[in-house]
Structure 1
Amino acid sequence: MIKETEENKWTTFRGNKARTGSYSGKAPWKHPHLKWKFKTGDVVSSSPAVSDGIVFFGSWDYYLHALG
């Protein structure tokens, strides 16, 4: 898990007032790799939200998924 610091903390949806969702800082990992994957019953088109290490997202299968 990536440790939250002031440099990588997003305090608003998509990271800034313009909602660009971009991050200009240095990535906290050198060699990214898949850590897990999850299959839903349909397409995911929502933006995820993260709270207390849990990722929340909705999908077209009519579920709100919470992964942690």
Structure 2
Amino acid sequence: MSVDKGMILYNACRDLNHICNDVYPYAHEDHTVNDKILKEMYLDLQDLQQKYLQEVRKQRVKHG
């Protein structure tokens, strides 16, 4: 994954994370299907961001 594409993905994840952060604190109150989906999305987004950051670090080490 090129850094440009990765940065777009990272920024999209960050933006979605902000949306999730606005709603997620209330997700435990109802335990609706939407809340469960939101929680899964939130965790998936965190994973994607971490994978991207790990890839960037690898590329930096590789290319010095």
TM-score (norm 2): 0.22
Rg larger in structure: 2
Which has the bigger relative contact order, CA under 8 A and spacing at least 6? 2
The answer to which structure has the higher strand fraction is: 1
What is the TM-score normalised by the length of structure 1? 0.21
